[in-house]
């Protein structure tokens, strides 16, 4: 294998390499700002290498300036790695006793898809560095928790080849639409993830659903979610599974749909408003809807508004709303007051 790689880094036997089904070949050379000592690590992707092949790492750090770089743990370090695919391959750095600044230099004569080195703790956070021939990456280990000057420090959990972030651990998830909205319901109490706002809804018996912000997702309650368009948010269980909302919430969860669809007009979210549902069949899981009594007469659509209700909505609930047409305009009478469909009082 070492002879094969010497051809790779020297770009001598291209035809031989192609016959061997190599799609990626790279050498990482690690050096220190305070000296000339180096250590190398070889990576090869070979379509025919189903079982990874490795060479042992024989470098030591007995000399003050010597660095080390390898794959595997300290008991079985490897200086080369050949496989038919490389994914989430950690590499271990051992610093020398001279400096805290180091550089990776990349020799990459073959790159079909390209290997990527990820620094999980760079000054910029998680940083992906494409391994391009002749490029380099300089980093400092001074901020490492176990770093101590003038010692050999092993850093085994910072650098990864072809890193793939682990799937988040969560109870359930929700993806918002292109307007940044979604309806939601769940059978357990959930904490609200960062960047997302959850609202209950109070219908004004006219054309608006007034949204009231909540601090959690209560169990078996319909809610409206607002956040970044097309973003997926991940929910975890709340520590208070007995939590309930105070006040009215006219939004209903998926589980209530079967028992209400016969007697109510069902409104669902579309874009950034609520529209009458005209489809039959099962209701989507973990969603919410707004039921409107058929006797009330369903509007064409229902808008969503933030905060406390004004105009029509401040009239006491005991006052029954009555719709009527006057001069070609639909108006709403509550008590002695008359409002238009926008909730403005008509004098």
Q: What is the pLDDT along the chain (347 residues), one digit of tens a residue?
A: 444 445 454 433 333 444 478 999 999 999 999 889 999 999 999 999 999 999 999 998 989 999 999 998 889 999 999 999 999 999 999 999 999 999 999 999 999 999 999 999 999 999 999 999 999 999 999 999 999 999 999 999 999 999 999 887 899 999 999 999 999 999 999 999 999 999 999 998 777 899 999 999 999 999 999 999 999 999 999 999 999 998 889 999 999 999 999 889 999 999 999 999 987 778 999 999 999 988 766 788 899 988 655 433 333 333 455 666 566 566 666 666 676 655 556 65
Helix residue ranges per DSSP H, the chain: 2-10, 14-19, 257-260
Q: Which of 161, 183, 203 is the last residue of a domain?
A: 161
Which pair of structure tokens corresponds to residue 339? Answer: 């409002």
Which pair of structure tokens corresponds to residue 304? Answer: 């969503």
Q: For residue 132, is it within any domain?
A: yes
Q: For residue 187, is it within any domain?
A: yes
In sequence order, what are the residues at sequence separation of 6 or more whose Cβ sits closer than 8 angstroms to the Cβ of residue 246?
none
The reply to whether 306 and 325 lie within a common domain is no
The reply to whether 213 and 270 lie within a common domain is yes
Q: For residue 16, is it within any domain?
A: yes
**Residue 251 CA: distances (Å) to CA of 121, 230, 271, 321:** 44, 22, 17, 20
Q: For residue 101, is it within any domain?
A: yes
The reply to whether 230 and 150 lie within a common domain is no
Q: For residue 291, is it within any domain?
A: yes
**Residue 46 CA: distances (Å) to CA of 24, 133, 213:** 7, 19, 55
The reply to whether 187 and 303 lie within a common domain is yes
The reply to whether 293 and 325 lie within a common domain is no
User: In which region does residue 61 sit, left (phi positive, over 0), alpha (psi from -120 to 50) or beta (all else)?
Assistant: alpha
Q: For residue 167, is it within any domain?
A: no
The reply to whether 72 and 183 lie within a common domain is no
87, 24 in Cβ contact below 8 A?
A: no
Q: Which of 136, 161, 186 is the last residue of a domain?
A: 161
The reply to whether 187 and 125 lie within a common domain is no
In sequence order, what are the residues at sequence separation of 6 or more whose Cβ sits closer than 8 angstroms to the Cβ of residue 285?
254
Torsion of CA 163, 165, 166, 168, to 10 degrees: 180
Q: For residue 289, is it within any domain?
A: yes
275, 268 in Cβ contact below 8 A?
A: yes
| pTM of structure | 0.56
Which pair of structure tokens corresponds to residue 111? Answer: 């790159």
The reply to whether 156 and 192 lie within a common domain is no
Q: For residue 166, is it within any domain?
A: no
The closest alpha carbon to 24, from 2, 49, 3, belongs to 49
The reply to whether 20 and 127 lie within a common domain is yes
The reply to whether 141 and 237 lie within a common domain is no
- CB crowding 32-51: b at 16 or more within 10 Å, else e: beebebbbbbbbbbbeebee
- Sign of the alpha-carbon dihedral angle for 313, 315, 321, 323: negative
The reply to whether 92 and 193 lie within a common domain is no
Q: Which of 161, 192, 207 is the last residue of a domain?
A: 161
Q: Note down the domain range covering 43.
A: 2-161
- What is the domain count for the chain? 3
The reply to whether 109 and 181 lie within a common domain is no
């Amino acid at each position: 294998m070492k002879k094969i790689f010497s051809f790779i880094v020297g770009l001598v036997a291209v035809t031989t390499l192609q016959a061997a089904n190599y799609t990626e070949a790279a050498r990482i050379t690690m050096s220190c700002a305070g000296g000339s000592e180096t250590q190398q690590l070889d990576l090869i992707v070979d379509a025919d290498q189903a079982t990874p092949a490795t060479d042992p790492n024989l470098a030591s750090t007995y000399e003050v300036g010597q660095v080390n770089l390898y794959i595997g743990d300290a008991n079985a370090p490897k200086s080369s790695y050949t496989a038919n695919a490389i994914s989430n391959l950690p590499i271990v750095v051992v610093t020398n006793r001279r400096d805290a600044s180091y550089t990776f230099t990349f020799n990459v004569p073959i790159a079909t898809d390209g290997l990527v080195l990820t620094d999980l703790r760079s000054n910029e956070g998680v940083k992906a560095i494409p391994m391009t021939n002749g490029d380099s990456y300089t980093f400092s280990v001074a901020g490492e928790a176990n770093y101590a000057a003038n010692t050999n420090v092993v850093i085994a959990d910072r650098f990864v080849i072809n890193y793939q972030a682990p799937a988040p651990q969560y109870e359930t998830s929700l993806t918002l639409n292109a307007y940044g909205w979604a309806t939601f319901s769940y059978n357990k109490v959930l904490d609200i993830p960062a960047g997302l706002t959850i609202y209950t809804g109070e219908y004004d018996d006219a054309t608006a659903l007034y949204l009231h912000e909540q601090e959690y997702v209560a169990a078996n309650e319909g809610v409206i979610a607002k956040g970044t368009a097309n973003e997926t948010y991940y929910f975890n269980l709340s520590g208070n599974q007995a939590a309930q909302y105070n006040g009215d919430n006219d939004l209903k969860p998926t589980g209530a749909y079967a028992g209400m669809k016969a007697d109510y007009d069902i409104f669902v979210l579309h874009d950034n408003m609520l529209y009458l549902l005209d489809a039959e069949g099962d209701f989507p899981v973990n969603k919410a809807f707004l039921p409107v009594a058929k006797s009330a007469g369903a509007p064409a659509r229902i808008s969503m508004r933030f905060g406390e209700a004004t105009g029509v909505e401040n009239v006491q609930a005991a006052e029954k709303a009555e719709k009527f047409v006057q001069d070609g305009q639909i108006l709403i009478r509550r008590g002695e007051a008359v409002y238009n469909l926008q909730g403005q009082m008509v004098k």
